Amino acid sequence: MQEWTGAETGKVWAAGSRGLSVALQWPLPFETQRRVFRKILIANRGEIALRIARACREMGISPVVVYSDADRAALHVLEADEAYRLGPAPAAESYLRGDLLLEIARKSGAEAIHPGYGFLSENADFAEACERAGVKFIGPPAAAMRALGSKTRARQAADRAGMPRTPGSTQGLASLDEAHKVAAEIGYPVMLKAAAGGGGKGMRAVARDEDLKSAFEAAQSEAERAFGSSEVYLEKLIERPRHIEIQVLADEHGHCVYLGERECSVQRRHQKVIEEAPSAVVEPDLRRRMGEAAVRLAQSAGYTNAGTIEFLVDDARNFYFLEMNTRLQVEHPVTELVTGLDLVHLQIQIAQGEPLPLRQEDVQLRGHAMECRVYAEDPDNGFFPSPGKITRLAQPGGPGIREDAGIYEGWVVPMDYDPMLSKLVAYAPTREAAIARLLRALDEYVIGGIRTNLGLFRRILRDADFQAARIDTGYLERLLAEPLPAADGREERERVAAIAAAVFESGRAAAAPAASAETTRAWKRAARAEGLRS
């Protein structure tokens, strides 16, 4: 590996390129520095911290991780070279403590910080603080983050880049009067959104003018509570849209490519549940138009590193800019599988000042990838989170299966963070084969001790509309409103389950020292079950 080379120019860069021929621009712009990281601090937890640590190891970089008190025994701590305590469980006292992270970077000698997703990943102030501290933030510059991070500013940037967006305002609404005026211009139904928003908070669909007042006030107060900013804007509601997003990668030498799309239309309460690449409805021409628009937007804002431009696509295949996520996405593996690229490696190479090792024409999509977000939540109990101890774990494997997980048998899933346990991803030549492969992997997957949404994926993947790719962002809510279909072979499973229960119970009775043990147990159980019902 090369050592830190400062602002050196002119030499052909070889250390990081991955065998693709590249048209290099020399000399490098003055401000571009070529660096080689020996240590990277991963400012995150769970599966993404582990995924980044793996990339570091593959590149000969030493991964440094951090943990809160709730995560001392987490998998990412076990898999790191160095681990440092941040603080108590609440994120505000641990994973959001930028000052502590920079202190740990200094102490450990990490030259760069990878923020993962969530937490500080889209925090421009933190990116700036890293810059000031001389630690490379693996992501876009703070200025680009600011230009694209707020939804209203991103809409202005979209206009400058000539990118189609939903009709509506590009600035926060100053008053209810203004909201009425904009809504009248674009016509109902409309959508109110928080400028600083995300995750569906501060969002209200409004069908009629008389409902606007209460929705406007509710969206404002929700936005204020969730994001500390009550700025809301208004846009035309697209009916039954698909959520399709474009992955871009930009280096620090002005090169930017798009890596095709991901379709993330299967959502519940604006949270993605299943993602896939490619989308069943995106033809090469649409992909090129969306991709080129995405690249224009990224370049107009001086964007570097990995980013995602989200679009809504209507029935007529018109696409509208939604927002830009200025970080690595949860669902990046599906893009990796169909492009054969490693996005985290590329993020690190870009942050090291290397030029992109590929041109647009080198990007080829092959096969189909589909991802399930496995959550600790109970679909039978209103999707309420289910933290707790994982008493049994059997993880799927075999051809075409990738699982990015942050769990192990015996681990206690903390109640303090996001309920995502793992991402189960299948890759196959066709969409149909990817679905079959995911169903097969789901049958191999056992997570005991806590409730999970594994059963929900079986239901979706067997649904005729999903199989035919008749999906939009309202698809899952409609499916969940339908009665549960009768499962094939249910009767047989129940009979076998009864036999298994008898085997477990009799085995225990035989092992128990006292003759009446089984009776006591059964009685205790019955009493417990009764207590729950009452």
Partner 1 sequence: MKLAIEIAERARVVEYAPGATEVLVDGVSIPIEARELRPGVLSLIVAGRAWRVVLEEDATEPAVLIGGERLAYRVDDPRSLKARRAHSGGSDGPKSIKASMPGRVVRVLAAKGESVAAHQGIVVIEAMKMQNELKSPKDGVVAEMRVKPGDTVAAGDVLAVVE
**Is the CB of 315 or the CB of 443 nearer to partner 1?**
443
Does residue 415 interact with partner 1 by CB under 8 A? Answer: yes
Out of 391, 430, 470, 477, the only residue in the binding site for partner 1 (CB under 8 A) is: 391
Does residue 451 interact with partner 1 by CB under 8 A? Answer: yes
Which pair of tokens denotes residue 57? 């190891």
Out of 449, 466, 471, 472, the only residue in the binding site for partner 1 (CB under 8 A) is: 449
Does residue 364 interact with partner 1 by CB under 8 A? Answer: no
Out of 128, 143, 455, 480, the only residue in the binding site for partner 1 (CB under 8 A) is: 455
Does residue 213 interact with partner 1 by CB under 8 A? Answer: no
Of the candidates 60, 59, 61, 109, which has an alpha carbon nearest to the alpha carbon of residue 84? 109
Of the candidates 43, 37, 74, which has an alpha carbon nearest to the alpha carbon of residue 56? 37
Does residue 45 interact with partner 1 by CB under 8 A? Answer: no
132 is catalytic: no
**CA of 29: how far to CAs of 7, 10, 437, 440, in Å?**
9, 11, 47, 51
Angle at which helices 343-351 and 332-339 pack, to 10 degrees?
100
DSSP 355: P
Does residue 501 interact with partner 1 by CB under 8 A? Answer: yes
Of the candidates 351, 338, 265, 352, which has an alpha carbon nearest to the alpha carbon of residue 306? 351
Q: Which member of 327, 373, 402, 459 is catalytic?
A: 327
**Is the CB of 479 or the CB of 512 nearer to partner 1?**
512
358, 253 Cβ separation under 8 angstroms: no
Out of 418, 436, 467, 469, the only residue in the binding site for partner 1 (CB under 8 A) is: 418
Which pair of tokens denotes residue 262? 């991901």
CA distance 497 to 280: 39
CB of 448 to partner 1, least distance (A): 5
**Is the CB of 214 or the CB of 506 nearer to partner 1?**
506
CB of 424 to partner 1, least distance (A): 13
The half-sphere exposure of 56 on its side-chain side, counting CA atoms within 13 A, is: 29
Does residue 175 interact with partner 1 by CB under 8 A? Answer: no
CB of 527 to partner 1, least distance (A): 5
Classify each residue of 347-373 as buried b or exposed e, where b means 16 or more C-beta atoms within 10 Å of its C-beta: bbbbbbbbbbbbeeeebebebbbbbbb
Q: How many CB atoms lie within 10 A of CB 100?
A: 18
Out of 11, 181, 478, 495, the only residue in the binding site for partner 1 (CB under 8 A) is: 495
114, 43 Cβ separation under 8 angstroms: yes
Of the ranges 108-116, 120-128, 474-482, 490-498, which one interacts with partner 1 (CB under 8 A)?
490-498
Out of 388, 436, 463, 479, the only residue in the binding site for partner 1 (CB under 8 A) is: 388
CB of 375 to partner 1, least distance (A): 9
Q: Which long-range contacts (CB under 8 A, 24 or more apart) does 476-480 make?
A: 476/266, 476/267, 476/268, 476/273, 477/268, 480/268
CB of 451 to partner 1, least distance (A): 8
67, 85 Cβ separation under 8 angstroms: yes
Does residue 505 interact with partner 1 by CB under 8 A? Answer: yes
**Is the CB of 207 or the CB of 501 nearer to partner 1?**
501
CA distance 465 to 470: 5
Of the candidates 528, 532, 380, 373, which has an alpha carbon nearest to the alpha carbon of residue 451? 380
Out of 171, 362, 458, 467, the only residue in the binding site for partner 1 (CB under 8 A) is: 458
Does residue 527 interact with partner 1 by CB under 8 A? Answer: yes
**Is the CB of 425 or the CB of 454 nearer to partner 1?**
454
Does residue 131 interact with partner 1 by CB under 8 A? Answer: no
Does residue 499 interact with partner 1 by CB under 8 A? Answer: yes
CA distance from start to end of the chain: 67
Does residue 408 interact with partner 1 by CB under 8 A? Answer: no
DSSP symbols for 153-182: HHHHHHHHTT--B-SB-SS---SHHHHHHH
Of the ranges 125-133, 294-302, 451-459, 470-478, which one interacts with partner 1 (CB under 8 A)?
451-459
Does residue 419 interact with partner 1 by CB under 8 A? Answer: yes
Does residue 73 interact with partner 1 by CB under 8 A? Answer: no
**Is the CB of 210 or the CB of 488 nearer to partner 1?**
488
Determine the distance from the C-alpha atom of residue 17 to the mean position of all C-alpha atoms in its chain, rounded to a whole number.
Answer: 27
**Is the CB of 144 or the CB of 413 nearer to partner 1?**
413
Does residue 487 interact with partner 1 by CB under 8 A? Answer: yes
**DSSP E strand stretches across 298-366:** 305-313, 319-325
Which spans of this chain sit near partner 1 (rule: CB under 8 A)? 376-378, 381-388, 391-392, 394, 415-419, 442-443, 446, 448-449, 451, 454-455, 458, 487, 489-490, 493-507, 509-510, 518-519, 522-523, 525-532, 534
Q: Looking at the annotation, which residues are catalytic? A: 327
